[in-house]
A and B are shown apart, each in its own frame.
Chain A
Amino acid sequence: MAAKKILVADDESHILHVVSLKLQNAGYEVLTASDGQEALEIAQAERPDLLITDYHMPQLSGLELCQKLKQDPATAGIPTIMLTARGYQLEPKDTNQSGISRMLSKPFSPRQLLATVNEVLLEPAA
């Protein structure tokens, strides 16, 4: 079976590196984007199996990115893990309507992120 493809979007490059390394070591194929717009384009072109995105990003926020992906039937089914600042909570209506499966607050534990990724990818598609 081909490796599952995961798109990671964050404007902080150290987060991209930490997450990529952890996921690659676990056998995933990782694509990275450093802003919301880039992430949107890559998601449309590459159809990843999962999106991990930061909330605060230039051009297009994580939430706007999810909403755009949700509008396009081709990308609407991509499950998403959202990374947020500690103590920051999204409105439940936003998360429900944007296909956000999980939220993790920064600084997150990479081990926990990987566990979450495995969990989400095992869930039947919504």
Chain B
Amino acid sequence: MTLQAQERPLVATGGAYCVPAAVLDNLAARVRSCGLFLMLLDKDGSVVSHDAQAAVFFQRYVLPLVQYGDPTDPGLADRIRKLDAASPVTVWDTFPGVILAVFPCVERRQIGGFLVLAARSVDFNLAEEVLRVCSRLGLDAAWLRHQAEELIPYNDEAIQRQTRLVTGMFKDQMRLAGLASEMNSLSGHLADAYEELSLIYQISGGMRINRPPNDFFKQACLDVLEVMGVQGLGVALSGQVLPGHEPVLYGALSLPPGTVHRLAEQLIPMLHERKGPLLVNDLVADKSLDWLGKHVHQLMAVPLQRQDMVMGCLFALNKSSGDFDSQDSKLLNSIANQSAIYLENAILFDDSHGLMMGLLHSLTSAVDAKDAYTCGHSERVALLGRQLSAEAGMGEAFGERVYMTGLLHDVGKIGVPESVLQKTGRLTPEEFEQMKKHPEIGARILQDIKQISDLIPGVLHHHERYDGRGYPAGLIAENIPLMGRIICLADCFDAMTSNRTYRKAMPLEVALTEIRRCSGTQFDPSLTEAFLRIGAEKFRQLLAANLGRVRYLGELQQNLRCA
């Protein structure tokens, strides 16, 4: 830096006026090459900074004169004070051998300070005044003359002309500096906007309706904490929306669970009442929230809203710097709005999924209630089928469909006479024909529920055989729908390992050997392979999985029979 004082604010009335050091540096270097010396004065005429690389003539002779005045001309400061914002370039030759050009630096029609250009005058000679100044400053006059001769001499008119150019340059530079700082501030805002945008992208990317709300909100809170400078960020959902939900607070601030709980209980009705964000920057003064104690001093809360209902809220505690403002609440609010849509959908999804699964289980129970000996069979086939599809490397979503198909595969037995279903001896050919109708009856029962139309092939074809000798269609190998091949395996395995009136349950190992033996004839060989990989321990677990439910159904059947 060539200037002694950098970016020192020149105080103009009504605010600080600052000439950036870069502007002064730039200007000083340019005028230096024209033999001029740049100084910046405040509005009282005191030197704030000057070109420290200027020629020694300026440093040793001119600068002290401007700084301390010349006894023969004590009025420089006075004269400077008389200038106003509209003053043009003013030229003075009151200091011996020197010409000064002065112009005011103006901002918002106020004088912030003055730029002064000094030059060696064409009239410089070792006149009496110069000798007097030299002796006062302790300078050798001959040496000074030598220094002065190195410099470009100026007259009034020349310095006037130069200074007009410099004035324009100065104004341009100041404007550029202003634009650059504006650009920086805009870039800062843009960076913030990017930050918020990518936060919103990230959060909306996590909105899958089958994701548990607690999991979603945890991630969202952690994401927001990264961007928003707050000590704590929490989520609270109303008990009506998500029974059993506990409000949680994430971040550096840790509060006892009881406090978070009480806060949540208070915030949700408050937000319901005000229908908008709540910003409290002085909690101590807030009568309703001051119980939060000394660790919480600022609070912002926004509702998770569905139409008129407040389902819960997001709340932020203690901003790292400054107060919560409308920008903070706008960001948190837009995150809350998106989250509310997710939450509503997640709840609807959960509701309708629960309703459908409930209906499927009822249908299954209806079949099981009719056929005492297949009690719990459907549920086990469902579990086995799901395990098999996982083992065969199919996705979780497909596994769920297999599970549902397993539950429903025997639903057609509702249409088979009880006398056939419950017969203890061998079935006659006619009875067997009736029994063989259950896959088709099942498919017919389900055909009107379009949401599960993809399960019908599994229900219809679960008695097909890989070699084509099964029913109802006698399909061969890969022509049998995958779902059918999976259910077939699970169905046969469970039948073998369950007690029947006409035979005892096979031990697990025997059943597995039987399954292996029938690979390629009855069962799909690659599925059989996957099935055998499941392992004895897992099988025992799966087969015992729904004993409670089975016992309940057993009682139900007893009651039905008694009735």
Contacts and interface: CB of A to CB of B under 8 A. Distances in A.
Interface stretch (B181-189, B338-346, B380-388): B181-189
B482 to A, nearest CB: 31
24 contacts: A14-B187, A14-B190, A17-B183, A17-B186, A17-B187, A17-B190, A18-B187, A18-B190, A18-B191, A20-B187, A21-B187, A21-B188, A107-B198, A107-B201, A108-B194, A108-B198, A109-B194, A109-B195, A109-B199, A109-B227, A110-B191, A110-B195, A111-B226, A111-B227
B197 interface: yes
Chain B: number of interface residues, binned into ranges? 10 to 19
A104 to B, nearest CB: 9
Closest 10 CB pairs of A and B: A109-B198, A17-B187, A110-B191, A21-B187, A18-B191, A107-B194, A18-B187, A109-B195, A18-B190, A107-B197
A45 B197 CA distance: 36
Interface string B164-201: 00000000000000000001101110110011011101
Nearest to B186: A17
B259 to A, nearest CB: 30
A102 interface: no
A17 B226 CA distance: 22
Given A14-B190, A111-B226, A21 B184 contact: yes
Interface in A72-126: 86, 107-112
Contact of A22 (B191, B199, B227): B191
Contacts of B197: 107
B227 to A, nearest CB: 7
Contacts of B191: 18, 21-22, 110
Contacts of A20: 187
Contacts of A108: 194, 198
Interface of B: 183-184, 186-188, 190-191, 194-195, 197-199, 201, 226-227
A109 B226 CA distance: 11
Interface residues of A, number: 13
A107 B195 CA distance: 8
A21 B186 CA distance: 10
A8 B200 CA distance: 26
Contacts of A22: 191
Contacts of B201: 86, 107
B327 to A, nearest CB: 17
A12 B95 CA distance: 54
A21 B194 CA distance: 13
Nearest to B187: A17
Nearest to A114: B191
Contacts of A86: 201
Instruction: Output the residue of A108, A109, A111 with the most chain B CB within 10 A.
Output: A109
A28 B199 CA distance: 25
Contacts of A109: 194-195, 198-199, 227
Nearest to A20: B187
A26 to B, nearest CB: 12
Instruction: Output the residue of B183, B186, B190 with the most chain A CB within 10 A.
Output: B190
B223 to A, nearest CB: 10
Nearest to A17: B187
Contacts of B188: 21
A103 to B, nearest CB: 14
Instruction: Output the residue of B188, B191, B199 with the most chain A CB within 10 A.
Output: B191
A18 B187 CA distance: 5
Contacts of A14: 187, 190
A22 B195 CA distance: 12
